[in-house]
């Protein structure tokens, strides 16, 4: 089976089928998971139950990069706000930090 037939997702944002891990048999309640679509069902795995899949490393690196970029952006908005006194940029800032 090819690696391309897998999808990677996370709970509770999305779910596929019964959400029972086919390695350990337990329910996938939260966190990242891998899914493969079969004609009649979805086959799902906990991230930790298919940790040897190299795609997780790629996903982790991408999300770290996105988070770093988001932090730089927030910082830039703060600097701009202070410099120019523009208040209607607040929607760019995370609410919990103000
Ligand atoms: Zn599992």
- Is residue 21 within 8 A of residue 45, CB to CB? The reply is yes
- C-alpha to C-alpha distance for 35 and 38, rounded to whole angstroms: 10
For ligand 1, a single-atom ion, the residues with CB < 5 A are 21, 23-24, 46, 49
CA of 68 from ligand 1 middle (Å) equals: 30
- C-alpha to C-alpha distance for 6 and 20, rounded to whole angstroms: 16
Q: Look at residue 11 and tell me whether its pLDDT is greater than 60.
A: yes
pLDDT level of residue 1 (50, 70, 90 thresholds) = very low
- In the numeric block, the tokens 């999808």 are attached to 7
CA of 47 from ligand 1 middle (Å) equals: 7
- Going from the C-alpha of 31 to that of each of 15, 17, 38, 48, 78, the distances in angstroms are 11, 16, 22, 10, 31
CA of 64 from ligand 1 middle (Å) equals: 24
Predicted TM-score of the model (pTM): 0.71
Mean pLDDT computed over 33-58: 96
Q: Look at residue 97 and tell me whether its pLDDT is greater than 80.
A: no
CA of 12 from ligand 1 middle (Å) equals: 16
């Amino acid at each position: 089976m090819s690696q391309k037939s897998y999808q990677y997702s996370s709970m509770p944002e999305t779910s596929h089928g019964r959400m029972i891990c086919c390695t350990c048999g337990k329910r996938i309640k939260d966190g990242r998971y891998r899914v493969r679509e079969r004609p009649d069902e979805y086959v799902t795995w906990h991230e930790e139950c298919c940790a040897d899949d190299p795609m997780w490393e790629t996903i982790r690196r991408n999300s770290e990069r996105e988070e770093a970029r988001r932090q730089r952006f927030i910082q830039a908005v703060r600097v701009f706000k202070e410099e120019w006194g523009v208040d209607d940029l607040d929607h760019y800032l995370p609410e919990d930090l103000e």
